[in-house]
Amino acid sequence: NGTSRTVTVNQVVTDRELIERSNRLEQVLAEGNFGEYCRQKADQTADQHSRFLWYFLKANFEENPQAEMLNLLGYHTEDIASKFKKYTESGKEVEVAAPAADPVEGLTDQMGGLSRTLDNNAVFDAIAAGNKLLNDQHQEAANNSGSEKPSDNIPYRIRTGTDTEGLICEALLTKNLEAAVELCMEAGKTTEALILAMNGGSELLARVQYRFLKNSDSYLSNIISALVTEDWSGVVTQCTIDSWKEALVAALTHCQGQLPLLCERLGERLQIEAGGDVELARNAILCYVCAGSTERLVEAWNLQKPNGSFGDFVNGEPDKNNNSNRDLQELVEVAMLLQKALERQGRATNVTGKLADLLSQYASLLAAQGSLNSALTYVGNSTDPEME
């Protein structure tokens, strides 16, 4: 009216749900109740994969993240222990009054006390000691009963000659252990070769193990080889892609030092080899959560979208229901929670590349809704020149 000097600024919010979820996320990031937030998010979603994802994120805030992830993959520690208990327990005989000392238990104690760092002679010393204990026990039983087993004192002939067994015997008698091992391998006596190689040093044992595993065409030989060599990269890169869950279990169980690298490789394979199977490809995101790779997670999430990015259009049509904003908000929530998990684990949490671009885009969206203060919290380390 020409006399008023008042300027009225109105904040127009077109997506109230976005702002509400953004405020809730800020509150959680400030208060630190991350595990509970992940649980709530999992319970709120009807999508099985999203539910799985939030529980994987929640596992990162547990005392033992790997164990929690194994539980989610169907490998609960207690269930597995119970499943294999019957195979690991020695048979228990009926106890009688004042039983004599159990020689098997004594041998077990001696073997169990050996460190893996001891030389192989120590192992055979323990075996010899155990055999002596068993022989003494048998002798005592024979003296008490007045009888002994017929097989105890059956004489046997030591044969040497040009046949395979004769040559092996002669090699053993003359302390040519390596030759004896080679003869056993050529004769297909792998068990005997491995037992002998244990007394011939780590190099000889490794050679025998390598030859045995190389000549075996069973998939189990690949698993055994990975266990023996402590290198599971071959399992992750060579298993069929529908075995991704089992490969992830192996990585979580055996590969603490290489876990991020192997989980990333598995995620890459899922993205490349899914062959149009969207559900299979989505599992790459779980692998990146296990790897702690926020940037790769963001990249995999974006690739699931038809246009590969977020915006105001969905499949070329205007996004009237703000579905694109919902997806962007969900991804930011996942990425920020994973970043917080990495911080708690003492791992690097640099905001670069795809993650920085995501947060810049999110900040722009918040600013457009008038939430400037919230937008500024996500801009700090952005590589987006438009937000500098």
pLDDT of residue 152: 64
Give a yes or no: residue 98 inside a domain. no
pLDDT band at 218 (very low <50, low <70, confident <90, very high): confident
323-368 pLDDT, tens digit per residue, is 889 999 999 999 999 999 999 999 988 898 999 999 999 999 999 9
Instruction: Tell whether pTM > 0.95.
Output: no
- Comparing 115-119, 282-286, 380-384, the range with the smallest average pLDDT is 115-119
Task: Give the pLDDT confidence score for residue 115 in this predicted structure.
Answer: 36
Question: Does residue 63 share a domain with residue 126?
Answer: no
Residue 61 phi/psi, 5° resolution?
-100, 5
Residue 116 lies in a domain: no
**Are 228 and 205 contacting, i.e. CB atoms less than 8 angstroms apart?**
no
Domain range for 23 is 16-77+281-387
pLDDT band at 113 (very low <50, low <70, confident <90, very high): very low
Highest mean pLDDT of the ranges 134-138, 191-195, 241-245: 241-245
Please indicate, yes or no, whether residues 300 and 368 belong to a single structural domain of this protein: yes
Q: Is residue 353 part of a domain?
A: yes
The mean predicted confidence, pLDDT, of the chain is: 81
Q: Does residue 188 lie within any of the structural domains?
A: yes
Whether 335 is in a domain gets the answer yes
The residue that leads in pLDDT, 259 or 9, is 259
pLDDT band at residue 40, thresholds of 50, 70 and 90?
very high
Residue 67, pLDDT above cutoff 80: yes
How many separate domains does the chain show? 2
| Same domain assignment for residues 288 and 220 | no
pLDDT at 254 over 60: yes
pLDDT attached to residue 144: 53
Q: Find out whether 85 and 77 touch, Cβ atoms under 8 Å.
A: no
pLDDT tier, 306 (very low <50, low <70, confident <90, very high otherwise): low
Same domain, 300 and 358: yes
Phi and psi at residue 95, to the nearest 5°: -80, 145
Q: Examine the domain organization and report whether 220 and 307 are in the same domain.
A: no
Distance from the first to the final alpha carbon of the chain: 39
Alpha carbons 122 and 381: distance in angstroms, whole number = 58
Q: What percent of the chain is predicted at pLDDT more than 90?
A: 52
Q: What is the pLDDT of residues 136-185, one digit of tens each?
A: 555 555 555 545 455 567 888 888 888 999 999 999 999 899 999 999 99
- Is 115 within the bounds of a domain? no
Q: Characterize 180-193 residue by residue with b for buried, 16 or more Cβ atoms within 10 angstroms of its Cβ, and e for exposed.
A: bbbbbbeeebbebb
In-domain check, residue 253:
no
**Does the residue 246 lie in any domain?**
no
Query: Which of 65-74, 95-104, 373-382: highest mean pLDDT?
Result: 65-74
What is the reported pLDDT for 96?
A: 39
Any idea which of 12-26, 126-140, 229-243 has the lowest mean pLDDT?
Answer: 126-140
Whether residue 127 sits in one domain with residue 66: no
